[in-house]
Structure 1
Amino acid sequence: MAMSATAMMADPWVLAQQQWRQQRASVLTEPDGWLSLVGLHWLMPGRQAVGRTVDADIRLRAGPDLLGEFELREVDGAQQVIWFPPSSREALHFNDADVSSDAIVLGSDTSEKPSWISWSDGSVQLIERGGKLGLRVRDSSAQTRRDFQGLAWFDPVQDWQVSARFEPKPDGSTIPIANVLGQLEDTPNPGTVIFEKEGASYTLEALGDPAESLFLIVADRSNGKQTYGAGRFLYTEAVVDGEVVLDFNRMVNPPCAYNAYSTCPLPPPENRLDLTVQAGEKTYPGAH
């Protein structure tokens, strides 16, 4: 027999699920969360003026009239981006500090020292995807953030919290993961997760670190109907003694479900489940 709404809200397990979902919405709507993305501009070799002015080579939807010039060049066989700040830079910050140099080497989001250029209500970050370097722009007053519709979820059901077996792979194993840009990248693949549901056995290729958290990019038969068409993400807790819990109630949409400027990875063929997972986050009701 299904639980009444009152009984569900009184259940500690359900309450924990609801609190987790509230926290997810809170993170999404932070000033620099995924809902704040307003642009993604790929850099070309040479110098490019960047800003809101009509004369800019790369025109931003948000930010200062002139953010400066960005030069993409090759140094010792590697790509490098130099930022030349404008003369009027009092309102700008580099990694949360005042801008004190006339030429700054930027680190991408995949480097050991990522760089941020920020102003009162937004920022630019250098990102790297498949050898391409670009500027990702955030604006805390983005329409996607202002018009946030809330998240839609399936009711939490304990049957969708399942125990799984983790089978490790040899060190250095990788799996090709495609992204929405059409790029393919060999990604560390520490092992396979095996679980039982509705009398059948299913496997998922895992990313991440088994000692901390596995990351699963999953497609299922609900995609494009009740859930986001390009699949969903599932994060786990650490693997313990070869076992891990898959809580499908906490499957979430990738950032691409909320904005047009993300570079989301897609489920590998091995992670396309012949199963309808009516659990976790549904299709986002808002526009992007």
Structure 2
Amino acid sequence: MFRHSLLVAAAILGVATVHATDIDTYKQSIEQWHAGRLERLTAADGWLSLIGLEWLKRGANRVGSAADNDIVLTAGPAHLGVVTLDADGKIQIALNKDSHATIDGKTIQEAVLIDDVHAAADATPTKVVFGTASFYVIDRDGRKGLRVKDSEAPSRKHFVGIESFPIDPSWRIEATWVPAQPGETLEMGSVIGTIDKSPVPGKLEFTRDGKHFELLPIIEEPGDTQYFIVFADRTSGKETYGAARFLYIDPPKNGKVVLDFNKAYNPPCAFTGFATCPLAPPENRLDLRVTAGEKKYAGEH
């Protein structure tokens, strides 16, 4: 009888130990994910390095740090050069001889600038580098602008870290996948007033606290191996960033999707006013306090 009791106790203890180990392993995986997230965010050319978003006007745009330029930068030479936006959307740059700038690593003075939308799938937009700073052209609904970065940006140098909710395995939810109808899309506004329409691959359905909830992911680019979710919840604007948080999911397996809110993170706009982040669409505003993932950034915007 005594031996039987020990075996039962050992069996119970073994189950508990395995369960605790699984939780510890899961928490370590989230910590590793977050460490990678911080490494990307704080990289020399990460989102914290943004120092400007300068929209181009039609024709010639004189660019530099001097006050007499059409576009005044907070870093770089007094007169970097001239960026010309043609009527057909073509963009060219002519650098000043004494700018000491490079274009895609080359010491040339003139070039056509390819923006982030029109760059080839396996290429990046044309990058102009001057000292610790650089810029490339972005296209947002036909508007062309210079996205300016500097590895010495105050937002990067004075980054205070990101506070997160305690890792909670219960927020790793197995959601049911409902395939979308062909051609289904989701409209999302942005902080700069644009509205983008993106393809929807399906719908996520899950329960929390006995209530039913739904989320719509989108496909950012054809061929992406993950789907993207922009959502808000009842913590938004209070404990978490007001506009939205982001989350990626893997495609469904056997009609199920792992929805891990411990990996919910802040958009670039939570850290800088020079980003063009999407806003959570009405379809993805949860009547639920998602107490998992990143909290509101405590540093200066």
Q: TM-score, normalised by structure 1?
A: 0.90
Percentage of matched positions with identical amino acids? 39
CA distance in 2, matches of 1:195, 1:126: 40
CA distance in 2, matches of 1:234, 1:140: 26
Partner of 2:116: 109
Q: Pick one of 24, 33, 36 that aligns with 1:11.
A: 24
Matched, 1:180 2:188: no
Q: Pick one of 77, 88, 92 that aligns with 2:98.
A: 88
Partner of 2:133: 122
Question: Residue 201 of structure 1 aligns to which amino acid in structure 2?
Answer: H
CA distance in 1, matches of 2:179, 2:127: 36
Q: Pick one of 106, 120, 127 that aligns with 1:98.
A: 106
Q: Does the 8 A contact of 1:234 with 1:252 survive in 2?
A: yes
Q: How does 1:197-216 map to 2 (within 5 A)?
A: 197-208=208-219, 212-216=225-229
Measured against aligned partners, the alpha-carbon deviations of 1:7-30 in whole angstroms (never above 9, x if no partner) come to 89x912111111211111111111
Deviation at 1:172? 3.2
Question: Residue 248 of structure 1 aligns to which amino acid in structure 2?
Answer: F
SS at match of 2:283: helix
Question: Residue 206 of structure 1 aligns to which amino acid in structure 2?
Answer: P
Q: Pick one of 147, 152, 168 that aligns with 2:158.
A: 147
Q: Pick one of 155, 169, 176 that aligns with 2:180.
A: 169
Structure 1 or 2: larger strand share?
Answer: 1
Gaps of 5+ in 2: 1-19
Q: Does the 8 A contact of 1:32 with 1:122 survive in 2?
A: no
Q: Does the 8 A contact of 1:213 with 1:239 survive in 2?
A: no
Q: Pick one of 260, 263, 268 that aligns with 1:247.
A: 260
Partner of 1:270: 283
Deviation at 1:210? 8.7
SS at match of 1:16: helix
Q: Does the 8 A contact of 1:52 with 1:59 survive in 2?
A: yes
Q: Pick one of 28, 46, 64 that aligns with 2:77.
A: 64
Q: Pick one of 13, 37, 44 that aligns with 1:24.
A: 37
SS at match of 1:98: coil
Question: Residue 59 of structure 2 aligns to which amino acid in structure 1?
Answer: G
Matched, 1:55 2:55: no
Structure number, greater radius of gyration: 2
CA distance in 2, matches of 1:171, 1:126: 33
Deviation at 1:107? 1.2
Q: Does the 8 A contact of 2:247 with 2:263 survive in 1?
A: yes
Displacement over 6 Å in runs of 4+ = none
Gaps of 5+ in 1: 1-6
Q: Does the 8 A contact of 2:103 with 2:111 survive in 1?
A: no
Cα RMSD after superposing both structures: 1.9
Question: Residue 98 of structure 1 aligns to which amino acid in structure 2?
Answer: K
Question: Residue 107 of structure 2 aligns to which amino acid in structure 1?
Answer: V
Residues 280 and 65 of structure 1: CA distance in aligned 2, closer, same or farther (over 3 Å) = same
CA distance in 1, matches of 2:202, 2:77: 46
SS at match of 1:206: coil
